[in-house]
Amino acid sequence: MEIQLNFAPLEEIEAEALAVVVFDKEKGEPLGPRAEQSEPLRRLVQPLLESGEASGKPYEAAMIHRPEGLKARRLVLVGGGKRDRFGAVELRRAAGAAARFLRPKSISQFVFLADAPGLEPAAQAAAAVEGAVVADFEADKYKTEKKEQKRIERLELAGFDQALESRLSETIHRSRILAESQNFARDLINEPSNRMTPTILAERACLMAAETGLECEIFGRDKIEELKMGAFAAVARGSAEPPALIVLRYTPAGAPERPLLGFIGKGITFDTGGISIKPSEGMEKMKYDMAGGASMIAVLRAIALLRPPLKAMAVIAATENMPGGRAQKPGDIQVAMSGKTIEVVNTDAEGRLVLADALHYAKTLGCTHLVDAATLTGAIAVALAGVNLGAFGNDQAFLEQFLAAARDCGEKAWPMPLDDEYRELIRGHMADIQNVGGRHGGAVTAAMFLKEFSGDTPWIHLDIAGTAWVDEAKAYIAKGASGVAIRSLVTLALRLASG
């Protein structure tokens, strides 16, 4: 998508469509501070609000053809809800709703008025770009009867002071890379498991690395066993598909040795549950169990394109979890790369096993800060539904940096506990620890398990099981993979790079 700034007065903008946010008419002024300065806009909007054709209800859209007093061929009114509660999150979604409303109508170019009261210009530009680019995505690549591909080819942002052009152009560049990287991950996650095996995921990662200047190494089963990654290897044994340990490195010239930021991803390309097999209902969605790994690949993509002065790497443990004849069984004891022994109580708690070895390996490669992301537990969805991802950490300052980045990126993350008492729930009977901690607090005990392998290294764990998949399409995003946390993690990296 081509993205430009348009500094013309609203009345003089020539476009296929001009999209403007309207607010709940019962809660004050129905237009934002920029839109309300336009007499033609006020004159056009008021009758629609009074008749109920436009309500201001969040993300509902209405269109006026040949709007009187405007040069744009269409005026699109996108509901913004309550004016006094309209911020970056709502602006991002409104831009996405405008794009998804216009896209099926074969409108390839539109102007969006970024107009959030009280939000500074760069934040408005970032939200509008990210919302529109993420919205311009559909998971329909395998439909043979799909209509001619419809895309938004150009977005123009209006309502800004031309004196801010240089700064806003930088913001647009960064935000487009963030959103395109999010879509890159969504495309990987949406792939069916027969078309996204560990081998294919590794190939896609290396192809991306070649395009962006990253270093890429792929290790197979023999190397995984040579490294004594007993937990990872045990999960992989049940599948005929070979596992892959994917390592991506970003090492810019002149970057300081510290920090070295490690992004660790769970890459289970399909999860049957293994011998502790899952119910068949909904199992088809288990292709998304590699969302954490795909997200970390996308994070390195964005970092490589934005080129901050910071060393970073991604380590993704990719395999299937299958109930084959060589699959691990409940009661088995595995020895992780760190030397810690693990009693496998439930083979469907496999993500923490592969992450245990990936986390330890990242530490051996010199990472000074670790972040892992995984669709780890159904328990996090029980606790937080599909609204917030769960954020755990052993270093409060580092965790707060991530939470601040998430807030600024419009992504919802909720801090979760890691009290020492939870350690007792995973204490092993026949080994050092066991891989499940009982019925209660499942997301916390899973994080507590991973904490055993992060040690004293500052570490954040993101459980994205409830937020990595959109079950039903929304006005601003398609059904399927969401690409959650990518923007936040890249922002965290950029802030660490800038000190």
Instruction: Tell me how far apart the alpha carbons of residues 43 and 366 are, in angstroms, rounded to a whole number.
Output: 63
352 is catalytic: yes
| Element housing 125 (H / E) | helix 121-135
- Are the C-beta atoms of residues 330 and 344 closer than 8 Å to each other? yes
Instruction: Tell me how far apart the alpha carbons of residues 447 and 498 are, in angstroms, rounded to a whole number.
Output: 29
**Residue with tokens 């150009």, as numbered in its chain:** 154
Q: 353, 345, 360: which is closest to 231 by C-alpha? A: 353
**Residue with tokens 């755990």, as numbered in its chain:** 392
Q: 90, 66, 55, 60: which is closest to 14 by C-alpha? A: 66
Using DSSP's 3-state secondary structure scheme, residue 204 falls into helix
Beta-carbon contacts of residue 294 (< 8 Å; ≥ 6 apart): 185, 188, 189, 201, 265, 267, 481
Q: What are 262's strand-pairing partners?
A: 313, 370
- Are the C-beta atoms of residues 459 and 158 closer than 8 Å to each other? no
Say what angle helices 442-454 and 351-364 make with each other, to 10 degrees.
20
What one-character DSSP code corresponds to residue 328? -
412 is catalytic: no
Beta-carbon contacts of residue 54 (< 8 Å; ≥ 6 apart): 22, 45, 48, 60, 62, 77, 79
| Element housing 168 (H / E) | helix 165-190
| Element housing 261 (H / E) | strand 260-271
Position 160, amino acid: F
- Are the C-beta atoms of residues 207 and 300 closer than 8 Å to each other? no
Instruction: List, as one string, the DSSP characters of 343-401.
Output: E-S-TT--HHHHHHHHHHHHHHTT-SEEEEEE---HHHHHHHTTT-EEEEES-HHHHHH
Q: Which two tokens stand for residue 48?
A: 């629609």
Which of 223, 228, 278, 474 is an active site residue?
A: 278
What one-character DSSP code corresponds to residue 143? -
Using DSSP's 3-state secondary structure scheme, residue 258 falls into coil
Q: 309, 5, 417, 44: which is closest to 176 by C-alpha? A: 5
DSSP H helices, 57-161, are 88-102, 121-135
Which of 311, 352, 451, 487 is an active site residue?
A: 352
Instruction: Tell me how far apart the alpha carbons of residues 275 and 327 are, in angstroms, rounded to a whole number.
Output: 7
Q: What are phi and psi of 245, to 5 degrees?
A: -100, 115
Catalytic residues: 278, 352
